[in-house]
Amino acid sequence: MSPTVRFTKNAANVFFHILTQCNLKCRHCYINPEQHGRQTLSLDTIRSWLETLARRAPMADLIFLGGEPTLHPDLAEAIHAARRLGYRSITIDTNGYLFHDILDRITPEAVNFISFSLDGASPATNDPIRGKGSFEACTAGIRNAIQKGFPTSLIYTVSSLNLHELVAVPPLLEELKINRFFIQVIGLRGQSATCAERPAENLQVTRDQWQSHVLPVARQVADQGIRVTYPKVFLEPDEPFECAGRVADNYFIFPNGRVYRCPLCEDFPLHSLAFANDRLIDVAPINEADLFKLDIPEGCVMNKLIQPHNITYLPDGSPANKIACCLLKEELI
């Protein structure tokens, strides 16, 4: 099977947000224009930054994101530039509207995956989260991509808004002929961190819900012959915690030049790297890299700082479970 992003130890991934503009207003969108910028990068800048990251992390997996990356008029040229630079795999993360006739401007050989985001198995669940008409547009985009020969994956971000419909996803994946399935857990970033109508912590699912709803669906999808990737989220107290900031090589690049190593930090000026005059530079302490060095009984330091409500404690004050690094995930084949 075609390679794609690797959420494992010793892996290198480049998550490149080439713009923050989007045609949708998803209720859990993590883009924060105040922290990430509002500009659309020029093709020359994209090429320069791609070249810099290719030298720093040879054979990295590259994911083009936005906002909605297909809104960028030069996405096809950026993909071709990345292919020439030798990235191990290239993925487009999209909401499925597929602007600028992107499927006609690249070939299936140019990308390893087109990854589509759906947050429900029906319009009734998906559209209140992602926008009216988005379910129909995304599934149409998937069918169009598959008809043209592109490998496809689907991302489902689990929250209290759509947990009930996860059970209906396996037959939808089979019907659409999806190649890979990514389950994500909602993080308190961007819109989900400031949602006035629904307290942010109520969007996240509990450990019991995760184990009783998410894990059985992951196994069912794998039994259908579809590769599944999902976050472990909750570790047992005796399980070792590993931070991707220590054991992997991930870069989350935003149009204003900020480069984060941990996505949980993205609502704050804690980035450890930055592009300045097309050069990648280290940012002065204190930043996320300083936090990666800390060991705490709760596991992930950033989770403890940003979303501590999902940690439960025993009567003696010790955590009932550790929270796993969100970037190191499980895979079922």
Read off the pLDDT band of 189 (50, 70, 90): low
Residue 23 has pLDDT above 60, yes or no: yes
What are the pLDDT digits (tens) for 117-168? 999 999 999 999 999 999 999 999 999 999 999 999 999 999 999 999 999 9
Which SS3 state, helix, strand or coil, does residue 79 take? helix
Work out the angle at residue 304's Cα, subtended by the Cα atoms of residues 301 and 305, and round it to the nearest 5 degrees: 90
Q: What is the mean pLDDT of the chain?
A: 92
DSSP helix/strand/coil, 331: strand
Helix (H) or strand (E) holding 15: strand 12-17
Nearest CA to 15 out of 302, 273, 323 is that of 273
C-alpha 271/C-alpha 277 separation (Å) is: 17
Rounded to the nearest angstrom, the gap between the alpha carbon of residue 213 and the centroid of all alpha carbons in its chain is: 21
- Three-state SS for 204? coil
Match 């700082």 to its residue by tokens: 305
Which of 82-86, 250-254, 298-302 comes out lowest in average pLDDT?
298-302
What's the pLDDT at 92? Answer: 98
Q: What are phi and psi of 183, to 5 degrees?
A: -100, 130
pLDDT confidence bin for 45, thresholds 50/70/90: very high
Residue 114 corresponds to which tokens in the numbers above?
């087109």
* CA gap 154, 53 in Å, rounded: 26
Q: Which domains does the chain have, with CATH numbers?
A: 1-333 (3.20.20.70)
Question: What percent of the chain has pLDDT above 70?
Answer: 95
pLDDT(202) > 80? no
Give me the DSSP letters along 109-137: TT-SEEEEE-S-SSHHHHHHHH-TTHHHH
pLDDT at 5 over 50: yes
Rg (CA), the chain: 19
Let me know how long the chain is. Answer: 333
Distance CA 124, CA 127 (A): 6
- Which residue, among 119, 158, 74, 96, has the nearest Cα to 127 in the 3D structure? 119
Return the pLDDT at 51: 98
